[in-house]
Amino acid sequence: MNPADLPDTLDVAPLTGETGDPCSFGILIKPCRAGLHIGELSVTWLRALVYSHQLVVLRGFDHFASSDSLTRYCATFGEIMMWPYGAVLELVEHANPDDHIFANSYVPLH
């Protein structure tokens, strides 16, 4: 997608905090029409936004069909870090999990 198409296609706004005041960095991008997929956005343009705003939140876009398609898209930005479980961890809640990550309880940030 050409950034010149932005006025009719995307809503680009500064990130705001809980008080409604703009944050010191970051922007929020939402589609203005249903059915827009992140893959339609220019990777070069998104990279430039990350460089200038430090954080870009993409909200409300069509989802990826699979974790593999998400991984392929993310690879267009650079090398993907691979974990023992792969590039994407599919979190599914379990009744009796072996690991707290798969439980429905609070997980502290670390």
**How far is it, in rounded angstroms, from Cα 9 to Cα 37?**
11
Quote the CA–CA distance of 29 and 37 in Å, as a whole number: 12
Q: Is the pLDDT of residue 102 over 70?
A: yes
pTM: 0.75
At 31-80, the pLDDT tens digits run 999 999 999 999 999 999 999 999 999 999 999 999 999 999 999 999 99
* Sign of CA pseudo-dihedral 21, 22, 27, 33: positive
| Helix, strand or coil, per DSSP, at residue 80 | coil
Report yes or no: 54 and 26 within 8 Å, Cβ to Cβ: yes
**% of residues, the chain, pLDDT over 90:** 65
pLDDT in tens, 12-34: 999 999 999 999 999 999 999 99
pLDDT tens track for 2-13? 555 555 789 999
Where are the chain's structural domains?
A: 1-63, 65-110
